[in-house]
Amino acid sequence: MIAGILNVTPDSFSDGGRFDRPRAAIARGWRIAEEGAAILDIGAESTRPGADPVPAEEEWARLEPVLRGLRDLPIPVSVDTSKLEVAERAVDAGAAAINDVTALRADPALAGLAARTGVGLVLMHMRGTPRTMQLDTAYGDIAAEVRGALADARRTALDAGCEPGQIAVDPGLGFGKSLDGNLELLARLDEIAALGAPVWVGPSRKSFLGALLGVGPDERVTGSVAASLAAARRGADVLRVHDVRETRQALDVEGAIDAIDARDAVDARRAGDVRGARPPARPQAAGGRG
């Protein structure tokens, strides 16, 4: 599935300021649904590297009119926040999930909110805070360390009363990781998927793609789609992206090809069964030589 990103912020790294007015944000939310997203993920606080925190009242002031204007959206809405006060108000306004980039480190009480209300809870791995996360990107075994941290956060949510099906995990591409670290996490995403929780992945327009390709945020669509396809092949359940239409088309093409592969595999197996079947034994006449 695709989670379409809607940043109602003035300072997000890719589209900050484009949808920070409620009318523009609401129109974009409907467009994201029309382009094929299964989820709309709204954020009102930038978590780009170096970003400063936003007070809860300001974050809610950005979110509230947009959530009100999207009440009739035909897809569920998740809200990207780590603040209990904002999350409570968002759930009251109809949000179906909370996307916590701190994996409960900022406020473990978010797990209790999810347990009480039944909303989804996405737990993302990040070292430090957005302001400090890129100061330490060295890991011994990045996939093992990220998986261990996410397993601990998931256990915290379960202990708070969440059901397993409510909880998803996200390895946090771009959040306290180097170029090589991000690529290794994508290559070893199956190890994160082995936790048994749905996996969200957000490679969209991230700076590691810019470093790899030598392009700015607006020129990272192709790289974002390629990274998304790689993630889907390795176990991602939800792709969190800015470019919904392009990602949806790429997934549809790959899905059509996979369907042909699956059909051919079934046909080949059936043909093999027929070729390998032994003919029925020929009955022998009584007293024959056999």
Sheet of 77-80: strand order equals 167-170, 120-124, 97-100, 77-80, 39-43, 2-7, 238-241, 200-201
Into how many domains does the chain fold?
A: 1
Helix (H) or strand (E) holding 260: helix 244-276
pLDDT score at 9: 87
Which residue is catalytic, options 62, 206, 220, 234?
206
pLDDT score at 14: 60
What are the pLDDT digits (tens) for 159-200? Answer: 999 999 999 999 999 999 999 999 999 999 999 999 999 999
| Catalytic residue flag (residue 105) | no
Inside any domain, residue 19: yes
Which residue is catalytic, options 62, 83, 240, 248?
240
Of the CA atoms within 13 Å of residue 36, those in its CB half-sphere come to: 16
270 confidence band (pLDDT: 50, 70, 90): confident
Calpha distance 158→65 (Å, rounded)? 32
pLDDT at 13 over 60: no
| Catalytic residue flag (residue 240) | yes
pTM: 0.87
155 confidence band (pLDDT: 50, 70, 90): very high
pLDDT average, residue stretch 27-55? 91
Calpha distance 104→115 (Å, rounded)? 13
pLDDT score at 136: 85
284 confidence band (pLDDT: 50, 70, 90): very low
pLDDT score at 192: 98
pLDDT at 135 over 80: yes
Domain span at residue 129? 2-243
Calpha distance 100→4 (Å, rounded)? 16
The rounded mean pLDDT for the chain is 90
Inside any domain, residue 281: no
CATH of the domain at 183: 3.20.20.20
Inside any domain, residue 152: yes
Inside any domain, residue 62: yes
Inside any domain, residue 264: no
Inside any domain, residue 165: yes
Inside any domain, residue 110: yes
What are the pLDDT digits (tens) for 99-130? Answer: 999 999 999 999 999 999 999 999 999 988 88
Calpha distance 259→220 (Å, rounded)? 29
Inside any domain, residue 267: no
